[in-house]
Structure 1
Amino acid sequence: MFGILGFSAAMGKRQKQQVTGRPSNSPRENSNEMPIDLLIDIFTRLPVEDVARCRCVSKLWSSILRRRDFTQLFLKISSTRPRILFTFLYNGRRIFYSTPQDLDPDRNNNSSPIIPYYQMHFPKGLASSDKVCPPILGLICNKSKKPLICNPSTGEYMSLPKARNENYEMSPFFGYDPIDKLFKVLCLSDDFVFQVSTLGTSGEEMTWRKVECPVRHLPLSAEICIDGVLYYLAKVMGNISTLPFMVVCFDFRLERFKFLDLVLITVSSALINYNGKLGVLSASSYRVDYNTEAIELRVLEDADEVKWSKTVYKFPYYWKDLAAKTYLHIVGMTTTGEIVLSTCYVHNPFYIFYYNTVKNSVVRVRIDFGIKPLRALNCSKISTFLNYVENVKLMD
């Protein structure tokens, strides 16, 4: 159901570690093998590309690296060292790169560019859409009529069956139910029919089931899944509300919709997880550029009574010079309270901006993907995601 892309030679951006295994004909007895707990502790310290190599050393190592306790421990440790994930289309292929999220806060604008780590790519022709869903526990779903779920850490992907046989465009949303520990996909067709499916349940074939939605709406680009609830911005269709926009909530466990009024958003708005609560970051201008004076944060303090708090962060005086001739989008907010912005398209130079809301300071970081020529990518949209975690669990 899925294909393994393998690891490209271009992946060698991070420091390689030489891993050698004992020959299978070694006279050493199994009783003298290194304890499994110690092996697991060592494996969790390795980069993902070395974990992949270790699977090929021996059957014992391969079985250990497939154990549930190891993959869960690796994921837990990975969550303490989140990464930024970049993905875009290049020559008909969707490519994934990542870099550590916690960059040097003292980095200055004249420092050398960061070279991100190449993760994987889809084979040519499999990813026609330029949009993807935010990653969840290391997995990511592309927004196309026939969605693909992939794991950039292992280089695997799996194709989902079409939600409908008719010739309708589909818009998938990716989510996770932490109670039942299930990944799910919600699909909306352009005739406003919702369907949902569950991934990987005991090897059973995926099936789609309809979900009733009482409010006709048009989803916008911003979305996030928090504690099993999918949130996305939408435009209200018809005259059912006095406000033109709203936040749609879909509970993946109950498979039910809920709708929240939102006073003001812009096309550049982003949804974030703000200490377990839904947050909305919006620019003071129609789009984010050097003319943007501030970013507004609204946090959903009470979902039942739909109460929002509001905080306004004003850019420092040098923002105009730092962001000159650059169109940006709001990526999100780190756990340390930094708002991250990124260039919208892949071109040279490509920048991400760290806005420290406590110090009221902005740091610009240049990213070099190492693709030549970049001229062909100048019109390619790029999706940038925070808090990406590496997941070494294979798609068995």
Structure 2
Amino acid sequence: MSMCGSNKPSGECPVLPVDLVINIMSKLRMKFMAKCRCISKLWSSVIRRTNNNLSFPITLPDPPPRILFTIECEGGLFFYTLPQPLNPDVKTSLAATFHHKTSGKDLYEVCQPIQGLVCRQHTDEENYTFAVISNPITGESLTLPMEKFSSKARKEKYYFGYDPIDKQFKVLRITWWSFTFKKCSSEYHVLTIGTENENLLWREVQCCTTLYPQNESGICIDGVIYYPSEMEKGKLTIVCFDVRSEKFNLVSVGQDLATKIDSSGFTLVEYKGKLGAYKRDIYRDCFELWVLEDVEQHIWSKRVYQIPLRWFKKISHVRPAGMIGSCEMVFVFDQSKTSYACPFFILYYNLESNTFTKVKLEGLLFEEFSQYSRVHAFTNYVEDVKLM
């Protein structure tokens, strides 16, 4: 059957009906759907509809979660994803899929992915600090409005969050002044990422006290951004920022955990839907997992996991990428602390059986990267087509 109607001039094809376009979209995998956005403005507008999932009559199963790798090397940022199996054995190997390369120049930090999107923070030599929202699968990116500051004492940090009720992405920006022996007041701004890229403006929000973010990354769990911060008198606390209400709350940190945080940092993870803080004890063959059991009462629980002796030295240069399910933690090698390229495998640690499993990676061309390439890895990444 001809695609061109008889009432059209010869050689000119008619525009496909919207319902037919929707039907076609419903049968495609997401990465092909992303490519279809480049066919025409009509197709792009249909896919970009806020209720596009309701428009597709055929519901496809949700894609399985994967592990997202970002590798920063020589000004470029490479995006890979890996399968995320549960309970792998020694014979398991994971084949990496390369998606695209983007500019990684002056990259400062990569935030934890949320709903298929990633927030990157960049700081260049001209004292610009800005955030970029990108989709590792489609390659689309959105640079948020930036400011240039005349003083290098002015610092900024970005946190990425998602409101599951209103289904909105928001970025929290914290600005403060830091001098050699003194820190000054801080400011807080929020930007909502709209579906049509309109009104991308920072608006100021108020916090109950002055806080200075720590170097550790934050994490968003069920609509709340958690990140460690220092108060005016040097006291450490966990800040809870509700993405929907844009309100702040503080959770006290016990002296034991505060001492460990202050000594060499920690990593925030999600543990059974709750906030967890991973801390490696470099002097003993163990690591600790602190879990925030009650936000209102500021109650933490502490779990200590012994590292088998044969693994103690092998994991001296690893850091957690996150939790899988409820009892497995994934570790990747921290290239910034090693003098040789060794990221050809990741480690699974089962909290219940106290066992490590070494999983080989295939398809990651690490031999093309320098030995000090910065590697970021995140578990539970779900591929998706997001509006940029």
TM over 0.5: yes
What is the alpha-carbon distance in structure 1 between the residues aligned to residue 282 and residue 55 of structure 2?
A: 43
Contact kept in structure 2, 1:176 and 1:184, CA below 8 Å = yes
TM-score, normalization by structure 2: 0.78
What residue in structure 2 maps to residue 14 of structure 1?
A: none
Matched, 1:359 2:345: no
* Within-5 A mapping of 1:146-161: 146-161=130-145
TM-score, normalization by structure 1: 0.76
CA 1:217–1:40 in 2, change beyond 3 Å: closer, same or farther? Answer: same
What is the alpha-carbon distance in structure 2 between the residues aligned to residue 189 and residue 117 of structure 1?
A: 37
CA 1:209–1:107 in 2, change beyond 3 Å: closer, same or farther? Answer: same
State the 1:62 CA deviation: 5.9
CA 1:251–1:394 in 2, change beyond 3 Å: closer, same or farther? Answer: closer
In structure 1, runs of 5+ residues without a counterpart are: 1-21, 287-291
Q: Deviations over 1:285-317 (max 9, x none)?
A: 27xxxxx62232222121111011222222234
* Within-5 A mapping of 1:307-326: 307-320=299-312, 323=314
Contact kept in structure 1, 2:63 and 2:383, CA below 8 Å = no
What is the alpha-carbon distance in structure 2 between the residues aligned to residue 310 and residue 331 of structure 1?
A: 20
Contact kept in structure 2, 1:71 and 1:391, CA below 8 Å = no
State the 1:59 CA deviation: 8.3
Q: Deviations over 1:308-353 (max 9, x none)?
A: 12222222343236x26x5111222112420111101175321311
What residue in structure 2 maps to residue 6 of structure 1?
A: none
Matched, 1:226 2:204: no
Q: Which has the higher strand share?
A: 2
**Partner amino acid, structure 1, of 2:204:** K
State the 1:230 CA deviation: 0.7
What residue in structure 2 maps to residue 289 of structure 1?
A: none
What residue in structure 2 maps to residue 25 of structure 1?
A: 4
Matched, 1:122 2:102: yes
Aligned match for 1:137, one of 110, 115, 119: 115
What is the alpha-carbon distance in structure 2 between the residues aligned to residue 118 and residue 345 of structure 1?
A: 19
**Partner amino acid, structure 1, of 2:244:** R
Matched, 1:42 2:27: yes
State the 1:53 CA deviation: 4.3
Task: Name the SS for the 1:146 alignment partner.
Answer: strand
CA RMSD of aligned residues (A): 3.5
What is the alpha-carbon distance in structure 2 between the residues aligned to residue 255 and residue 42 of structure 1?
A: 38
What is the alpha-carbon distance in structure 2 between the residues aligned to residue 293 and residue 70 of structure 1?
A: 51
What residue in structure 1 maps to residue 381 of structure 2?
A: 388
Aligned match for 1:256, one of 247, 250, 253: 247
State the 1:96 CA deviation: 1.1
Aligned match for 2:323, one of 301, 322, 333: 333
CA 1:116–1:271 in 2, change beyond 3 Å: closer, same or farther? Answer: same
Q: Post-superposition, which runs of at least 4 consecutive aligned residues in structure 1 deviate over 4 A?
A: 29-41, 53-74, 76-80, 163-167
State the 1:60 CA deviation: 8.1
In structure 2, runs of 5+ residues without a counterpart are: 7-13, 123-128, 178-185
What is the alpha-carbon distance in structure 2 between the residues aligned to residue 211 and residue 33 of structure 1?
A: 42
Contact kept in structure 1, 2:73 and 2:374, CA below 8 Å = no
Percent sequence identity is: 34
State the 1:57 CA deviation: 7.0
State the 1:387 CA deviation: 0.9
**Partner amino acid, structure 1, of 2:271:** Y
What is the alpha-carbon distance in structure 2 between the residues aligned to residue 92 and residue 380 of structure 1?
A: 10
Contact kept in structure 2, 1:293 and 1:314, CA below 8 Å = yes
What is the alpha-carbon distance in structure 2 between the residues aligned to residue 104 and residue 212 of structure 1?
A: 45
What residue in structure 1 maps to residue 271 of structure 2?
A: 274
State the 1:163 CA deviation: 4.8
Task: Name the SS for the 2:107 alignment partner.
Answer: coil
Count of matched residue positions in the alignment of Structure 1 and Structure 2: 353
Task: Name the SS for the 2:138 alignment partner.
Answer: coil
What is the alpha-carbon distance in structure 2 between the residues aligned to residue 251 and residue 336 of structure 1?
A: 24
**Partner amino acid, structure 2, of 1:276:** G
